[in-house]
Structure formats: C-alpha cells, structure tokens
Amino acid sequence: MLSQRVAIGSAWSPLRHPTFSRLWLASLTSYLAVWMQSVAGAWLMTSLTRSALLVALMQTAISLPMCLLSLPAGVLGDLLDRRRLILSTQALMLLASCLLAALTLFGAIGPAGLLALTFVLGTGMALNGPAWQSSMCEAIDRTELAQALTLIGIAYNIARAVGPALAGGIQTASGPWLVFVVNAAAYAWVVVVAWRWQPASIRSHLPPERLLSAIRVGLSYAAHASGVRAPLIRTATFMLPASSLWALIPVVGQGRLGTSAAGFGFLIGSLGVGAILGGLALHWLRERVALETQVRTATVAYALTLASSAVLSDVWTLCPALVLGGAAWSIALTSLSSALLTSVPMWVRSRTIALSMLASQGFMAGGAALWGVVASHGSSELALALASGLMVILMIWVRRYPVEFGAESDVTLSPAEVQPQLSGSVPPEAGPVAVEICYRIDPRRRDEFLRASEPVGRLRRRNGARIWRLYRDLADESVYVERFIVDSWVDYQRQLARSTVADHEHEERIRSFLQAGDQIEVSHYLAER
C-alpha cells in the first residue's frame, strides 16, 4: 500500500526500465513539439490580429479537442491495440505540422487557418494521450507509479522550459515556419519510436466492450469511486482559474511588458523552469508532507502568481513570480494525478486518464475563452486578478474532497472464483440481467448491516450495474435482498472479472451479519419482456 506520506523507491527508479525510458524520451520530444507549436502559434496569431479573444482562442483550440474526444480516446486506449492507435495519432500531428509549416512559409496562413490546424494538432494529442500515458504506467511496477508520473511531469516541464525559448530564438532568426518544420521532425522521430515499440498483449476470454457501453462504464466508475471523483473535481477547480495565465500571457507580454518574441519565450520558459523545480521537489515533499497539504499549498502559491501577473510591469520582477507559479502548477497537477492513478485498476486506466484530461483540458479550454472575454471587455489585469480570487474561493470550497494515495487492495484484481449455476447456455449479449442476493441477518444488527451495505452498492454501480437496491422482506424482518441490474450477461461476467481485493473485503463484511450457519442465496434472472 502506498503511504499517505511516503513515496516508495528512488525518484529516478522508473528510468531503469528500458521500455519506460524509451517512451519517456519520446514523450519529451513530443512535448517539445507541443510547446514550440504553442509559443510560435500564439505569437503568430498576435501578428495576424489584435483581438485578445482570438489570441486566447489559440489555447482553446489546443484544449477543446481534449474536452470533446478524450473520453472516447480513453475507451479506445482500453479496448484497441495501443501501438496502432499511437502510430495513427502521431502521424496525424506530423501531417498537420507539415501543412502549417508550408502555409506559413508561403504567407498563406490566416487566423482561421491557424486556429483550424491548431485544433487538428489538439485532436491528435487528445486521441494519443490516454493510450500513451497508460502504456507508460504499465511499463513500471505500481510501487513506482508516483515516481513515474513525476518523471512524466518533469519531461513535460523540461519541454515547457526549453521549447518556448527555442521557439522564440528560431522565430526571431527565421520566422515561425521554421519552428513548425522542427515540430514536424520531432513528430517524425516519435513515429519511429512507436513503430519499434512492441507492447505486451493482454488477452481476455470475454468479447470487447462496445464504445458507448464502455464510455458509460467509465463514467459510472468515476462517479462511484471516491478515489477517482475527488481528484477529478480538484483538477477541474484548479484549472478553471489557472488557465487565465496561459491564455493571457501573450497579451501581457506584448502589451503591458512590450517584449519581443524571444522575451515572450523567456516568460513561458520561467514557468517551465519553475515546473521542473517543482517536479524535482516532489519526491522530497512526498516523504514529509501529506498529499492534501501539497495540493493546497501549491494552489495558494499559484493564486499569488496570478495576482503578481496582474500588477507587475517589469519582466525581471515578473519572472520570479512565474517560476513560483510553474512550481505550484507542477506540484498540484502531478499530486492530483498520483492520487488518481494509484486508485484505479488496469482495466479502466485509460478511461480514467481520459477523464483527467477532460477535467484538465476541458476547463483549460473553457477558462481560456472565459478569461479572454473578460480581458476583451475589461483588461488582462482585471482578468488575472479575478482569477486569483476565484482560485482561493474554490480552494476553500473543495476541502470536502480531500485527496490521498490509493491502496493496493483498491486496484489488485481478484475475480470471483465461484461462477453462476445455469440451467443452460446464455448468449453473451442477452439481457438485461437481474442479480438477487438474499441475506438472513440478526435483526438487532440491522443498522450496522445497512451501513456496511453502502460501499457494496457503490462497488456494484462502479463496476457497471445500472440499478442497485437493497430490499427488506415485509414478512420477515431478518431477510434482506440485494438486487442490481446490468445490461447483458457478458457485462455481468465483466463485473465478476473486475472484482478487487477491496471489493471482496466489503462483501465479506456484509456477510459477517448472516445468522450462524446461514449462507447467501444468489439468483440470476434474464429479462424476457
């Protein structure tokens, strides 16, 4: 079990795994391409239009596909061949980068075209993200998961520190078209790495889930698993105000600070340097500070960065504040990801990553548009100040959703050993199927039994049951019947296969209330009408 305060193993231990190290280097390359594109695209937009809204929409164009496609992408990452999915999405981003470079070189790009191609790049990122990150998590031991997520964050933040400065220098020397050419070369190298990668195949005796059903199960899992629900809520409430800085820093840099393209890259690079420092500090923090305290402290620090960005008018005084903000960003989001991914089993991991991306990038997209509108009707200073205040208010509100590392028993699968007794064969897609479990308990322990039944109901719904109820027999107060419904017989088989050690502990707890010598009685019913 991962302790609330202690991270197991060395901070760099995941890099000892060859597969993880190769994927990590490929991630670093891909992230560099993303950040170079982000800086070059945003700066190019400021040269094409004076509209603060259109500049802010560059962030929305990257983030909106995450909102629209991340959940289907997560399902595809859980159900399909991840290698083929990754190759396809990386090739899409390669083609978009080549087209953007050509149009920019020949002066044929406008605000609409720039937004459209940025949206295509965002689409590739959305479809690629869950499968890629899930594959990286499976390349290491679970005890190293928190460290692996930190290293992924460090790669992202190295790219955020180096990419903007590199893009600014190239853009100043040759123009944005060359930045887009370098991006295309980076994506081409990632395609080569993905082509050579041979992931381990995981086979199931059950047929694959259908897309819509798998989406519903993923949403149900998140809704009924507190270890997933709390980090997602915290991520969303952090990203909504935090997006203001990323959306408006081009306006602040070109307007109030009057920086060049290289100076703008330096501002973004300061955020990246801070994020790297925050990532390096995480291992030390995990050994000394509770996860919830890490997230709260980082949130306050980021709010201070937003307030500083609203009032400071000199690059050299703003950069230290941006370093603080970058560290806070890294600590908060990596800590929330660690809480999330240590709480979910492998079968739903890509969908959970997708929901995290949805919470993160969806609120980043909406927040960027919101703060762009505020800046257009007021000023960037007003928008940043309001975002700072909102971040503090939301931090106080979300105290009811504390985060912590997940337990080993929450994610260790322990499929049911006893299979249902049937009078004949049942087609896999036959359904709906109702399952009834009868308990005869000591009536004097009724209240304890009802309390113990609550987590059982949550785990049934979490693993795919549409309806769950606990009924009392009106003719015998000692008899209770648990009843839940799943869409089909194969869905019930999946539910049995997805049971974890923690699930069995809850089931054993509720069975401890049975009268001496009694056993539960399980019945299965197939809908005929």
Q: What is the pLDDT, as a whole number, of residue 71?
A: 84
58, part of any domain: yes
Coil, helix or strand at residue 479 = strand
Average pLDDT over every residue of 4-23: 69
In contact, 239 and 364? CB cutoff 8 Å: yes
Handedness of CA 104, 106, 107, 113 (dihedral sign): negative
93, part of any domain: yes
For residues 172 and 318, state if they share a domain. yes
- Where does the pLDDT of residue 409 fall: very low under 50, low under 70, confident under 90, or very high at 90 and above? low
Average pLDDT over every residue of 128-137: 84
Q: Of 410, 430, 455, which closes a domain?
A: 410
Nearest residue to 307 (alpha-carbon basis) of 389, 252, 394: 389
For residues 272 and 331, state if they share a domain. yes
pLDDT in tens, 302-360: 999 999 998 887 888 888 999 999 999 999 999 999 899 888 888 888 889 889 888 88
pLDDT in tens, 483-517: 999 998 988 888 888 888 888 888 899 999 988 87
Q: How distant, in Å, are the alpha carbons of 147, 194, 293, 356 from that of 287?
A: 12, 35, 12, 25
Going by C-beta distance under 8 Å and a sequence separation of 6 or more, which residues neighbour residue 424? none
* Cα–chain center distance at 179: 28
- Where does the pLDDT of residue 1 fall: very low under 50, low under 70, confident under 90, or very high at 90 and above? very low
- 115 burial class (0-12, 13-18, 19+ CB within 10 angstroms)? middle
Average pLDDT over every residue of 370-398: 92
Number of structural domains (the chain) is: 2
| pTM score above 0.85 | no
For residues 406 and 418, state if they share a domain. no
The amino acid present at 158, given as its one-letter code, is I
- Where does the pLDDT of residue 8 fall: very low under 50, low under 70, confident under 90, or very high at 90 and above? very low
Q: Of 348, 380, 410, which closes a domain?
A: 410
For residues 392 and 421, state if they share a domain. no
- Where does the pLDDT of residue 404 fall: very low under 50, low under 70, confident under 90, or very high at 90 and above? confident
Average pLDDT over every residue of 32-52: 82
CATH number at residue 116: 1.20.1250.20
Half-sphere exposure of 313 (CA within 13 A, CB side): 3
Residue 407 pLDDT > 80, yes or no?
no
Q: Kindly state the percentage of the chain with pLDDT values over 70.
A: 95
Residue 111 pLDDT > 50, yes or no?
yes
**Which secondary-structure segment (H or E) carries 204?**
none
Residue 47 pLDDT > 50, yes or no?
yes
Residue 291 pLDDT > 50, yes or no?
yes
> Long-range contact list for 303-307, CB < 8 A, 24+ apart?
303/241, 303/388, 303/389, 303/391, 303/392, 303/395, 304/388, 305/245, 306/241, 306/242, 306/244, 306/245, 306/384, 306/385, 306/387, 306/388, 306/391, 307/384, 307/385, 307/388
* Unique residue bearing structure tokens 């390359």: 29
For residues 291 and 326, state if they share a domain. yes
For residues 398 and 425, state if they share a domain. no
State the Cα–Cα distance between residues 184 and 37, nearest whole angstrom.
Answer: 10
End-to-end Cα, the chain, rounded Å: 47
For residues 390 and 422, state if they share a domain. no
Q: Kindly state the percentage of the chain with pLDDT values over 90.
A: 24
Q: What is the pLDDT, as a whole number, of residue 272?
A: 79
Q: What is the pLDDT, as a whole number, of residue 199?
A: 66
239, part of any domain: yes
For residues 42 and 124, state if they share a domain. yes
Q: Which of 156-160, 175-179, 261-265, 395-399 has the highest mean pLDDT?
A: 395-399
Q: What is the pLDDT, as a whole number, of residue 261?
A: 65
CATH number at residue 437: 3.30.70.100
Q: What is the pLDDT, as a whole number, of residue 529?
A: 74
State the Cα–Cα distance between residues 64 and 357, nearest whole angstrom.
Answer: 11
Q: What is the pLDDT, as a whole number, of residue 2?
A: 43
Average pLDDT over every residue of 385-401: 94
Q: What is the pLDDT, as a whole number, of residue 438?
A: 94
6, part of any domain: no
Helical residues (DSSP H) of 106-144, grouped into ranges: 111-138
Going by C-beta distance under 8 Å and a sequence separation of 6 or more, which residues neighbour residue 201? none
- Tokens standing for residue 426: 């049942």
For residues 258 and 318, state if they share a domain. yes
Residue 413 pLDDT > 80, yes or no?
no
9, part of any domain: no
- 288 burial class (0-12, 13-18, 19+ CB within 10 angstroms)? exposed
Q: What is the pLDDT, as a whole number, of residue 263?
A: 73
Q: Of 364, 381, 410, which closes a domain?
A: 410
**Which secondary-structure segment (H or E) carries 517?**
none
Domain, as residue range, for 478: 413-526
- 91 burial class (0-12, 13-18, 19+ CB within 10 angstroms)? middle
316, part of any domain: yes
Q: What is the pLDDT, as a whole number, of residue 232?
A: 94
State the Cα–Cα distance between residues 136 and 349, nearest whole angstrom.
Answer: 11
Average pLDDT over every residue of 229-245: 94
For residues 440 and 389, state if they share a domain. no
For residues 446 and 372, state if they share a domain. no
305, part of any domain: yes
Nearest residue to 66 (alpha-carbon basis) of 121, 125, 120: 125
State the Cα–Cα distance between residues 312 and 319, nearest whole angstrom.
Answer: 10
Residue 450 pLDDT > 90, yes or no?
yes
Output the average pLDDT for the chain. 85
221, part of any domain: yes
- Tokens standing for residue 74: 């997560």
For residues 383 and 451, state if they share a domain. no
State the Cα–Cα distance between residues 199 and 457, nearest whole angstrom.
Answer: 36
